[in-house]
Amino acid sequence: MKKIQIFWLLGLVTFSLSAQEPSSGMGSASLEQYVSKSINSNPEIQASWRQLQIAMKDVDIAKSGYRPSIDVLASSAYTERNYGLDQDYAGHTAEIRLTQLLYDGFFTSSEVSRFKQAQVVRYYELMGEIEQKSLETSLAYMDVQLYRELLSLAEKNLITHVDVFKQIEESVIAGVGRRADLEQISGRLSLSESNVLTELSNLHDVTARFLRLIGEKPAEALAEVSLSEAMPASVAMDLESILLAAYETNPSFNATIYNIDAQRFAIDSARSRYQPQINFTASYGAQTRDEAALNNTISEASVGVNFSYNIYNGGADRAAIRQALSQVDLAKDLRDKACIDMRQTIQIARNDIQNISEQLPSLNAHRLSSDRVKSAYMDQFTIGERSLLDLLDSENEYYESSRAYVQATYTLEKARARLLAASGILVKALGVSRNGVASVSELAEKELRYDPNHVCPATRTSLDDERNILKRDSDSDGIVDLWDDCVNSAPNAMVDDFGCEASAPEPQAMNTPASAADFTLDDAQVLASFSINISFASNSSKISSEYTSSLAQVIDALEQYDNAGVIIHGHASLDGDAAYNQRLSERRASEVAALLIESADIDSRRITSVGYGETRPLVDEESLAANAKNRRIEATIIQL
């Protein structure tokens, strides 16, 4: 009974944790709401915002050099001396002086330009901080969702183990069960309890991270996140296209570009020290004592031009130029680092998106199969046809497969978020913005243009051009090497499902073209057209028996029209090699045709299969949702 007590205590802890979460006052919330709150209140973003405001004031300070300087000088002093006619007296002086810069070697203009570009640097740093905090908020949000789901899976797994434990315990008490089985289920029960505690700890940690970023705990209900629609079209392109697009919008990278330009203006400022300075001056002054300190009020006014030229000041001017040159080199090094970091993040995120998108169908198939096995084993265990070990193994396999699938779905969304953030468009994709931020065109001395192929070349990793083992087709026969028993088949040879050359079938009244290029509907009378609800896993033409009922509409049409035939159209998604997708679509259409013949006993002469590859997509993009829609089967009923 100790196990049941532990389970009760665990459930109480879970309930108390859940009961505390809605204290934020939000019953439900979305990612967009939390990101908006984060970028308008996060202290690190606030600090970057203050830095931008300071930089804007630096421009105003530099511009003051263009304006005249007006000074007022006044003094009043009592003097006592032992010579002259007046040996003790009070004297008063007053003067107003105007100084207007005429020439300073373009120091002032260089400083204004430098600070203008520097404020753009601060602007992009603010935008980069906003993107970073938006990414961190997004990842924390999704991690809370992830670990809530993983905790739910662990709790369900624990409940199942408790139920089996009760059953085995009752059997042992009744004398019909084995003590070894009770020990076995006890060990598995302890493991499932540990899994729940682990997920509780993980959920606590990510909730604390969420609290640090947002300032409040996550709401009880969090809206689902789907960034697939927000992904730019460049994701479906090659790596170079993605990077070229990111160069334009990544704020951290653009900050380093403008920083280089700002430091180049600092060189001009330092070189201006070698030039003379010319000022226009005007002054007027009055004093109550004359030059002999007699009590005579005198005044003086002057207007003129002052010229000054420094000959030597200890090498400070030369050192200032060298320092400015080093600052430019440092800015270039920071640009290269930003380039490398951005390129790495985009490459890893894009690779994760591609790989996980391909893994998800397989992980989901494993999860569904494990669920069916678990249910079957439970029924068989109840009637004594399966051992306890079989039952526990099936339950744990279902738990692990479900956990892997859930983790993969969230890893995919997080990879999308990282790619969007590295491209500098995550905030835009979420439809949120920071209040009161000016635009670059309002701040910059000049907008910069550069050649990205020179500044930050889009270098590919050595594995970018390697084909995945699941897609590699050495002889281009449409059968991947993993399943190909004959990897050296002749070019364009007809092969069977195992990649070996097969003899051509005997001609029939209606034969089966190899591709859409061999077939046209121009002379056929179309009686009906519709889609067949059959889904295929990525890189697969296998059809599950559960889809047999999906052919009912085709069978009914063929029974309705005695002199009719059906054309099965196979389509593939846009990801992968076009030639491979063509052969894959042909195999899928052939598999549906074979299933139609097998399940409904329809004359093969009435059935034609056609593969269109990726030439007729429903959605012209590469994403998980688009690939699922494009990977389809359609049917056309025609008059023979």
Q: Average pLDDT of each block of 10 consecutive residues along the chain (640 residues)? A: 44 40 58 88 89 92 93 93 86 94 92 91 91 92 94 91 85 80 85 92 94 89 83 64 83 91 92 93 93 87 94 91 93 91 89 86 86 85 80 88 93 92 88 68 68 68 52 66 70 69 46 49 69 74 72 83 84 76 82 81 81 84 77 84
**Which pair of tokens denotes residue 194?**
């540990």
Q: Where are the beta strands (DSSP E) in 452-611?
A: 525-532, 564-570, 607-611
> Cα–Cα distance between 380 and 387 in angstroms, integer?
9
> Which of 38, 259, 7, 21 shows the shortest CA–CA distance to 138?
38
Direct distance between the N- and C-terminal alpha carbons of the chain, in angstroms, rounded to an integer: 73
Helix (H) or strand (E) holding 99: strand 88-103
Return the SS3 of 392: helix
- Predicted pLDDT at 359: 84
- What is the value of pTM for the model shown? 0.67
Output the six-digit token pair for 37.
């709150």
Query: Using CA atoms, how far apart are residues 232 and 236, in angstroms rounded to an integer?
Result: 8
What's the confidence (pLDDT) of residue 624?
A: 72
